[in-house]
Amino acid sequence: MADPAAQYLQVQTTTDSRAEAMELSRSAVEARLAACAQVSGPVASMYWWDDGLERAEEWLVIFKLPADRFSELSAFLTERHSYDEPEIIALPIVTGSPAYLDWVRDETRRRAEGA
């Protein structure tokens, strides 16, 4: 049963290619830093960079994980991401299906517990 006191997150990042988005997704889920990852795109992005307004086509990656795995996932993404300043932001999952949240917890604990 999902622990109501446990916190879960959706963590997102963007990349400039579908291939990189898929590789970050695969490798993070394979390492059990997230229970799942979803890739969508392309999305249109507007942002400031080097004092200029930039427009880019990017791919959005959303990871689902327990909050206590955020630091590991953030370090993992920072190390492997092609951007100098990658977007790595977390949004809380306020509520959800208990069975789904159990699954998120269980799938990310297998590596952490050596199972």
- Per-residue pLDDT of 53-93, as tens digits, reads 999 999 999 999 999 999 999 999 999 999 999 999 999 99
pLDDT per residue over 8-48, tens digit each?
999 999 999 999 999 999 999 999 999 999 999 999 999 99
Helical segments of the chain, H only: 18-30, 70-80, 98-112
Does residue 1 or residue 85 have the better pLDDT? Answer: 85
Would you say the C-alpha torsion 70, 83, 86, 42 has a positive or negative sign? negative
Location of structure tokens 């949004």: 91
Count H helices and E strands in the chain, helices first: 3, 4
Phi/psi for 92 (5° steps) reads: -70, 145
Query: pTM for the full model?
Result: 0.90
Task: Give me the architecture of the 13-110 domain, per CATH.
Answer: 2-Layer Sandwich (3.30)
Cis peptide before 98 (omega within 30 of 0): no
